[in-house]
Amino acid sequence: MDLQGYGHLLVDGTWVTIQLALVSLVVGLIIGLLGAAAKLSDFKPARWLATAYTTLIRGIPELLLVLGIYYGGTELLMSIASLFGYDEYIEINAFAAGVAALAIAFGAYATEVFRAAMVELPKGQWESAYALGMSRPKTFIRIILPQVWRLALPGLGNLFQVLLKDTALVSVVGLEDLVRQANMATGSTQEPFTFFMVAALIYLGLTFLSTLATGWMERASNPSSKGVRV
Amino acid sequence: MSWDWLADYYPRLLDGALVTLELIFLSGLIGMILAVPLALMRTSESAFVRALPYGYIYFFRGTPLLIQIFLIYYGLSQFEAVRESFLWPVLKQPYWCAIIAFSLNTAAYSAELIRGAIQAIPKGELEAAQALGMSKPMMIRRITLPRAFGIVLPAYGNELILMLKGSALASTITMMDITGAAQAIIARTYTPNEVFIVAGLMYLAISVCFIGIFRLIEKRLNRYQTYKVEIPKDIDPLLRDEHIDGEFKKT
């Protein structure tokens, strides 16, 4: 396949796509954990808020979320800035808007995955940690989180694949990711099929790598696979 | 926030909703027609027959829908043969390109769901069909597929909602679906927050309707699970067989 010297564009784009996916993953995982904590808390408004968040976000197209945060966020920031007497045009960075949108979407699904994993964990795990005199946060970090992580990993792996594919949407608001770079190469070479196919194959490679990585993490997080007796 | 635009522009959003529903309905239908044979091939005993749908499904599930749409809408025009073929009047329209891309995409996802459902059918039911002397095509028509549809339904409802969310991508190839209409309105009114909120609520409303409809179909297709035997109270106790009696006591 002849890329006519535009290969480096695709490499740059791939790197942006990987960064976007990984940053959104980290932010999304934090949102997911907070959401699951809210859903399981004794405080009713927190539960309502978390339920509203997951229901709303899971019913709205990711593209709409990206567009809404990019354009809507610009307007919102400008109106906030004008309160402080700053009237210049502000534009949100496409990468930041992309991370926000993807993390919010990922977080909604991750909330459900974490919640299911925490419910699945026997109550005795909490109680025995308390009986040993551990505080609540300490119990959560030392006892609960490692086990929830193991139960949630398969679900999170699937969500990461979805996230990886959704990064393509951020090209719509001008982020120079893989799709946009392929599009730009297309403009000057008039070979759209070649470049979009190469981009598709790169995505395929990335999803393949992510399956390998989650498979490895699932084995690593499972003590019985390492021959440790539990 | 200002809402005066709503009175002038709501017909465009409603038209957009119609386009969205049309896209989902047509591509859902075509996708289903493609998915059933793919799923049957995936459950075949021969590795060669399994390999082809596997490659197809792997490609369409592993790449972004946006790229698939671009490949069909922009990509196909690269080939002289496509541009000169009788299909070109169809393939140059964004509408049909969107439908082709969505159909191929949802076919891959649904085929995996149906394969899972076929493999979840209790073996005894298929063996019973064989024992009754059914031919393979008849068994697939009368036992495998009706059972698989009942099993796959809840999962297919989710797939339909994912498709609804994916249909927003049609706006990237100039289609005026809900997202496309919203962007067109924003270009006139400069009220992105309000318009996107309304568009989001429209998507939510559609997905709530889908969920409701699927609950109903599910109840109907899996009615054997909730079916209760009505036994007249004045029936001769000697005629009651133990099994029915047990059911009767439970209800």
A24 or A223: whose pLDDT is higher?
Answer: A24
Residues of chain B positioned with their CB less than 8 A from the CB of A75: 190-193
A194 and B71: CB-CB below 8 Å?
no
Helices A192-221 + A7-40 axis angle, to 10: 40
Chain B, nearest residue to A194 by Cα: B75
Q: What class is the B5-250 domain?
A: mainly alpha
Tell me, yes or no, if A90 comes closer than 8 A to chain B by beta carbon: no
- A183 to chain B nearest CA, in Å? 9
Closest C-alpha to B19, from B185, B203, B177, B184: B177
Residue of A62, A172, A197 with shortest CB distance to B71 = A197
* A90 has pLDDT over 90: no
Tokens of A43: 């405080």
Cβ-contact B38, B185 below 8 angstroms:
no
ipTM, 2 dp: 0.88
* B142/chain A closest Cα distance in angstroms: 34
Spell out which residues of chain A touch residue B70, defining contact as CB-CB under 8 Å: 179, 182-183, 192, 196
Contacts of residue A193 in chain B, CB cutoff 8 Å? 71, 74-76, 78-79
Percent of chain A whose pLDDT exceeds 90: 61
* CA atoms A142, A148, A151, A152: torsion sign: negative
Would you say A59 and B207 are in contact if contact means Cβ atoms under 8 Å apart? yes
pLDDT tens digit string along B199-211?
999 999 999 999 8
Q: Name residues of chain B where pLDDT drops below 70.
A: 231-251
Among residues B125, B179, B187, B178, which one has the least CA distance to residue B150? B125
- The pLDDT, as a whole number, for residue B251 is 43
**Which residue on chain A is closest to B200 by alpha carbon?**
A60
Q: What is the pLDDT of residues B131-180, one digit of tens each?
A: 999 999 999 999 999 889 888 988 899 999 999 999 999 999 999 999 99
Judged by phi (left if over 0) then psi (alpha if -120 to 50, else beta), residue A2 lies in: beta
Other Cβ atoms less than 10 A from the Cβ of A69: the count is: 23
Cβ-defined contact of A72 to B196 (cutoff 8 Å): yes
DSSP string, B42-90: HT-SSHHHHHHHHHHHHHHHHS-HHHHHHHHHTGGGG-HHHHHSTTHHH
Q: Tell me whether residues B204 and A59 touch, CB distance under 8 A.
A: yes
pTM of the model: 0.87
**CATH class of segment(s) A14-175:** mainly alpha
What one-character-per-residue DSSP string does B82-141 give? Answer: HHHSTTHHHHTSHHHHHHHHHHHHHHHHHHHHHHHHHHHS-HHHHHHHHHTT--HHHHII
Pull the structure tokens for residue A81.
Answer: 């800035």
pLDDT computed for residue B250 by the predictor: 46
Does A196 sit within 8 Å of B71, measured CB to CB?
yes
Mean pLDDT within A142-153: 90
Local confidence band at A190 (pLDDT 50, 70, 90 cut-offs): confident
Given B65, B186, B203, which is nearest A59 (Cβ)?
B203
Which region holds residue B2: left if phi is over 0, alpha if psi is between -120 and 50, else beta? beta
Tell me which chain B residues have a C-beta less than 8 angstroms from the C-beta of A203: 62-64, 67
10 Å CB burial of residue B249 (0-12, 13-18, 19+) is: exposed
pLDDT per position as a tens digit, A165-177: 999 999 999 899 9
Better-scored residue on pLDDT, A223 or A190: A190
Q: pLDDT-derived band of residue A89, with 50, 70 and 90 as boundaries? A: confident
In angstroms, what separates the C-alpha of B187 from chain A's closest C-alpha?
A: 11
Q: What is the DSSP letter of A174?
A: T
